[in-house]
C-alpha cells in the first residue's frame, strides 16, 4: 500500500517533514508496513531545498500542481499564517486530498470552515502538530480518551513563555533580562509578542476547547492575558506560598458553556503541571473514566513538530479507503463562559502607603464583596513609605473580586498602583 | 456504522467495560460517530452481572457462543491469567474476530503466538489496557511516534509499588508498615508478591520492549528485581543526594540487543519521572525526532482500565474493513542484553565494622576493578561497632562492579552484610 505526499512549504517545519520522509523511509516502513512517498514540494524559496536530494520529487512554486496530481493523496500545508494557507487548504480539500497542517492560527480562526470542507469531500483534516508539537495530544483526546467525557484540560502550550518563567523561577531573574537572553539564544522570537502576549497559547486553547466541547469556539471570545506583567517578586512570593507561576490554557466543559481562557496562573508545586520546566509543553486532562492524564514533550522545533506531521500522514495511510464517519464533528453550540462567573482563589499584590488603617480599609472592602483572605503577607517596606501586600483569597467569585478591586484601586490616597491579580489552580484540578 | 462487542469476563475491568458500553452510549456516539453495541457477555459468576440492565444482551457461560455469532466483531478477553484466556483469544482470532485484551501476563508469555494468529486471520489484536491502564502509551508508541526510532523507554508501571515508595519517601515510613496500610486501604493485594517482586512490571516491560524493538523479547530473559529490599534509610540517603527511588521498567534499543530490565532505580529529583507520585504510572520515552515525551495517568482501577479497553474497541470500529497492513509485526530478532555489559552510576550501601583501614581496603578493591567513587557518606555508627557507608560511583561497568562486590562481601571480618546495590538513572536519560 503506497501513499503519495505533497508538502507546501519547506521552511523550518516543512523542511523537517521533507527530511523525515526522505531519510527515514526504512523506519516508516518498519513501523507501519506502509510505503509513504514524498511526491511533490511546493516552495518559492529554492534555498530551502538545497540540503535535500530530490530525485523523483516534483518541485513547483504552484500549489495547484499538487491538487491536480493523482499521485498525491495527502497535502501538508506548512507555510503557516492565514493567507494563502487557508486558500491552499480549502483547494486541496475540495480537490479530494487529505490535509495535514501545523497551522494553529488558521485552525483557531477558520477551523469550522476547514472541518466542513473535509467532511463534504470525505477526506481527513489532521493537525496534531498544531498543538504542543510532537505530543500526541489531539490523538489522546480524539482516540485515547474517546470513551470519556473530558471535563477539563490545562495546557502549558508555549515553550518560550515556559522557558522564560522557568528561568525567572529558578534563577531569580526578571522578565526583561530573561527575554533578552532567550532571544540571543534563539529560544524566543524578535519581536516576542505572539508568544509572551498569550496569543499563540490562545490559538492552541481554541483548538483544544473546540475538540473537547465538540463546539466551534469563537477565537475572539477567549480571554487572553500574557506574562509580560509577571515580576520576579510575584514569582518569589508565589514560591514562598507553595506555587509556581505558569502560563496556562484552561478549558473546562461546563455543559452549555465552555470556560476557555489563557492567563498566567499559580500552580501548586506538587501539581503535575509544576514539574514541566523550560521549553517543554504539557497538557493535563481530566475526564470521567480515565481521571487525570498528562502528556508531556517538546512543543516546538523542527524535528519534534515534523514528527507529529508525519504521524498524521501515517494515520491517514493506515486507514486506507475510509468508510467510517468523520473523526470529528462540531455537534454542539456552546458559548465561552464569562470570566466573572468563575469561582476560585486569587493571588493579589497591592502597593499601598505604609500607614495604619490601610489593611482594615482594604479588608472591609473585600469583605463587603464576599471576598475573604486565606493568607496575607506584608513585604518589607522599600523605605519610601510604600509597602507591598501579598494576599491569597479563599474561593471567591471573580466578578465580585473585580468589583472590590475597582473600589480599592480608586483609593488613590493610599493605593499607589493598580492591584495585580493572578488566578490560582486548585491542587485537585 | 455499527459494531458488535462480546465481553468475556465481567469482573473488575470487564464490569467497567460493560458499564461504559451500556451507560455511555451517547458519549461514544458523539465522540466517534459510531454505534458500538454490547451484544454478548460470557461470565460464569452471575453475581457480577446483577448491577446491569442487560436487555438485548446475550449472556452465556460458553465463550464459543461469541465466536459463532455474526453479530460480534470484537471479542474482549478480560478474565486475565494464562489459561483459559489464551485459548479463548486464539479461538476468537481464528474465528475472524478482532480481539481486545488487558492481559499483560498473557501478552508477555504468548505475544508472538497471539500476534501471528491476528495477522493470519487479518484481524486486529489490541491491548492498550495491558500497559499503564488508561494511559494511551501503546497508541503513542505505535501511532503518535510512528515517524521515530524509539531509543529508550523508562516506565513507572506498577501503582502499588509507586504508592509504597511514595509513602516511604514522603512520610519516612518503612516498607512493611506502608505495605500493611496499603493492603488495609485496598491499594495492595494480599499476597502482594506479583506487584512488589516486580513481576507485574516485567510483564509490561516485555510488551513495551517487544513493541519498541519489533522483536519477540523472551519474558524469562528480562532481569527482575522488586522493591522488598528497599529500606527507609536507602530512601533517606538517596533523597539527601538528590534522588528518589522508583521501580522502573527500563527498555533501550541498542541495535542487535535490547536492554530490558526491571529494578528499583535512583531517579534525579528534577527528572520528569520523579514527579510521578502515589498510585500514578508514567512512561518516559526517548526517540530521535520527538526527543523526550512522557505519558502519565492511572495504571489500574476499574474505570481507567475500561477507558483503555473501549478506546481499542473504538479504534477497531473506526478502521472498518481494514486493507492496511497489520499495525505491528515482529520483524526483528534481538536478544536481551546481559546486565553486566551496562555502564552507569551505582548507589552502594555497605555495612562494615567501625575501624580504621576499612575504607582504604574497600577503595582499593573497587579501584582494581575500575570502579571509582563520585561521592561518599559515612552514616552515624549505631554504637555497636557497625557503620553504614553510602557511596555513589562514577560511571562503571556493571560486571566489574559485581566482581568488586563479590570480593568485598567476602571480607566477612570487616563487611558485615551483603552490599546493597541500586542503579542510578542519568539526568539526561
Quick: pLDDT tens for B331-372: 888 999 999 999 999 999 999 998 888 989 999 999 999 999
Which residues of B form the catalytic set? 204
Is residue A175 very low, low, confident or very high in pLDDT (cuts 50, 70, 90)? very high
**B291 with A304: Cβ contact below 8 A:** yes
Global ipTM: 0.96
Per-residue pLDDT reduced to its tens digit, B17-45: 999 999 999 999 988 888 999 999 999 99
Q: What is the band of B380 on the pLDDT scale with cuts at 50, 70, 90?
A: low
**In this predicted model, what pLDDT tens digit does every residue of A100-128 receive, in sequence order?**
999 999 999 999 999 999 999 999 999 99
Find residues 242-301 of chain A whose CB sits inside 8 Å of chain B: 270, 272, 274-275, 277, 280, 287-298
Residues of chain A with C-beta less than 8 angstroms from the C-beta of B280? 292
Task: Characterize A272-289 residue by residue with b for buried, 16 or more Cβ atoms within 10 angstroms of its Cβ, and e for exposed.
Answer: bbbbbbebbbbbbbbbbb
**Predicted local confidence at residue A384, as pLDDT:** 80
pTM above 0.90, yes or no: yes
For residue B333, being part of any structural domain is answered with no
Q: What is the pLDDT of residues A363-412, one digit of tens each?
A: 999 999 999 999 988 876 667 888 989 999 999 999 999 999 999 999 99
Does A397 map to a domain? yes
Q: Is residue B335 part of a domain?
A: no
Q: Is residue B8 part of a domain?
A: yes
Q: Give the phi and the psi of residue B151 in degrees, each rounded to 5.
A: -95, -25
R_g of chain A computed on alpha carbons? 24
Does B151 share its domain with B251?
yes
Q: Active-site residue among A104, A105, A204, A298?
A: A204
Q: Are residues B121 and B195 in the same domain?
A: no
Residues near A231 by Cβ (< 8 Å), separated by ≥ 6?
A174, A175, A420
Contact assignment for A136 to B147 by CB distance below 8 Å: no
Bridge partner residues of B227 (DSSP) = none
pLDDT at residue A210 in the model? 96
pLDDT > 80? residue B428: no
The enclosing domain of A154 has a CATH number of: 3.30.360.10
Alpha-carbon gap, residue B280 to A406, rounded angstroms: 43
Same domain, B151 and B114: no
Neighbours of B356 (CB within 10 A): 6
A125, A343 in Cβ contact below 8 A? no
pLDDT tens per residue across span B231-279? 999 999 999 999 999 999 999 999 999 999 999 999 999 999 999 999 9
Total domains in chain B come to 3
pLDDT of B344:
97
Q: Give contacts of A16 with chain B, Cβ < 8 Å.
A: 289
Mean pLDDT of B215-230: 96
Mutation pick from A135, A143, A274 vs chain B, by most beta carbons of B within 10 Å, is A143
Of A303, A305, A284, which Cα lies nearest the Cα of A295?
A284
Per-residue burial over B322-348, b = 16 or more CB atoms within 10 Å of its CB, e = otherwise: bebbbbbebeeebebbeeeebebbbbb
Does residue B325 form part of some domain?
Answer: no
How long is chain B? 429
- Given a cut of 60, is residue B156 above it in pLDDT? yes
Q: Does A316 touch chain B (CB under 8 A)?
A: no
The pLDDT of A51-68, averaged and rounded, is: 96
- In B7-26, the residues whose Cβ lies within 8 Å of chain A are 16, 20, 24
Q: Are residues B71 and B199 in the same domain?
A: no
pLDDT band at B328 (very low <50, low <70, confident <90, very high): confident
**B145 Cβ under 8 Å from any chain A Cβ:** yes
- Provide the CATH number for the domain around residue A396: 3.30.70.260
Q: Residue-wise over B265-299: b if at least 16 C-beta within 10 A, else e?
A: bbbbeebbbbbbbebbbbbbbbbbbbbbbbbbbbb
pLDDT of the residue at B382 = 67
Q: Are residues A101 and A172 in the same domain?
A: no
Q: Determine, for residues A311 and B139 on separate chains, whether the beta-carbon distance falls below 8 Å.
A: no
Taking 80 as the threshold, does the pLDDT of residue B330 lie above it? yes
Q: What's the rounded mean pLDDT across residues A195-208?
A: 97
- Say how far apart CA A221 and CA B258 lie, in whole Å: 51
Pairing of strands A257-268, B373-378: unpaired
What does the DSSP 8-state code read for residue A338? P
How far apart are the two ends of chain B, measured CA to CA in Å? 45
pLDDT over threshold 60, residue B321: no
Find out whether the peptide bond into A179 is cis, omega within 30 degrees of 0: no
% of chain A exceeding 90 in pLDDT:
86
- Enter the C-alpha cell of residue A238: 508565589
8 Å CB contact between B150 and B142: no
| Residue A387: domain span | 339-424
pLDDT tens digit string along A306-323?
Answer: 999 999 999 998 875 556
Min Cα distance B411 → chain A (Å) is 44
User: What is the rounded CA–CA span in Å between residue A84 and residue B158?
Assistant: 50
Question: Is A143 found in the same domain as A119?
Answer: no
Amino acid at each position: 500500500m503506497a501513499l503519495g505526499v505533497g508538502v507546501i512549504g519547506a521552511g523550518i517545519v516543512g523542511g523537517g517533514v521533507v527530511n523525515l520522509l526522505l531519510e527515514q523511509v526504512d523506519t516508516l516502513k518498519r513501523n507501519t508496513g506502509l510505503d509513504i512517498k514524498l511526491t511533490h514540494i511546493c516552495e518559492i524559496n529554492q534555498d530551502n531545498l538545497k540540503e535535500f536530494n530530490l530525485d523523483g520529487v516534483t518541485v513547483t512554486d504552484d500549489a495547484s500542481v499538487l491538487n491536480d496530481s493523482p499521485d498525491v493523496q495527502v497535502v501538508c500545508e506548512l507555510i503557516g499564517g492565514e493567507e494563502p494557507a487557508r486558500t491552499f487548504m480549502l483547494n486541496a480539500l475540495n480537490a479530494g486530498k487529505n490535509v495535514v497542517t501545523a497551522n494553529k492560527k488558521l485552525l483557531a480562526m477558520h477551523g469550522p470552515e476547514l472541518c466542513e470542507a473535509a467532511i463534504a469531500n470525505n477526506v481527513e483534516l489532521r493537525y496534531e502538530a498544531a498543538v504542543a508539537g510532537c505530543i500526541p495530544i489531539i490523538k489522546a483526546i480524539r482516540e485515547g480518551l474517546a470513551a470519556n467525557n473530558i471535563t477539563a484540560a490545562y495546557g502549558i502550550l508555549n515553550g518560550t513563555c515556559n522557558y522564560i518563567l522557568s528561568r525567572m523561577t529558578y534563577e531569580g531573574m526578571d522578565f526583561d533580562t530573561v527575554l533578552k537572553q532567550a532571544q540571543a539564544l534563539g529560544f524566543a522570537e524578535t519581536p516576542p509578542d505572539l508568544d509572551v502576549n498569550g496569543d499563540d497559547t490562545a490559538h492552541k486553547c481554541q483548538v483544544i476547547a473546540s475538540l473537547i466541547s465538540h463546539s466551534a469556539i469563537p477565537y475572539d471570545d477567549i480571554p487572553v492575558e500574557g506574562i509580560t506583567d509577571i515580576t520576579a517578586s510575584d514569582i518569589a512570593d508565589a514560591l514562598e506560598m507553595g506555587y509556581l507561576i505558569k502560563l496556562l490554557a484552561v478549558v473546562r466543559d461546563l455543559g452549555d458553556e465552555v470556560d476557555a481562557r489563557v492567563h498566567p496562573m499559580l500552580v501548586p508545586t506538587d501539581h503535575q503541571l509544576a514539574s514541566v520546566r523550560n521549553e517543554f509543553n504539557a497538557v493535563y486532562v481530566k475526564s470521567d473514566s480515565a481521571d487525570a492524564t498528562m502528556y508531556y514533550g517538546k512543543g516546538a522545533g523542527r524535528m519534534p513538530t515534523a514528527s507529529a506531521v508525519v504521524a498524521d500522514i501515517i494515520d491517514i495511510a493506515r486507514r486506507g479507503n475510509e468508510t467510517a464517519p468523520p473523526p470529528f464533528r462540531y455537534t454542539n453550540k456552546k458559548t465561552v463562559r464569562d470570566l466573572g462567573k468563575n469561582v476560585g482563589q486569587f493571588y493579589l499584590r497591592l502597593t499601598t502607603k505604609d500607614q495604619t488603617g490601610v489593611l482594615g480599609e482594604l479588608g472591609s472592602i473585600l469583605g463587603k464583596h464576599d471576598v475573604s483572605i486565606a493568607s496575607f503577607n506584608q513585604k518589607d517596606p522599600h523605605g519610601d513609605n510604600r509597602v507591598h501586600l501579598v494576599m491569597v483569597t479563599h474561593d471567591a467569585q471573580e466578578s465580585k473580586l473585580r468589583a472590590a478591586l475597582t473600589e480599592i484601586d480608586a483609593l488613590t490616597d493610599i493605593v499607589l498602583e493598580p492591584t495585580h491579580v493572578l488566578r490560582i489552580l486548585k491542587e485537585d484540578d
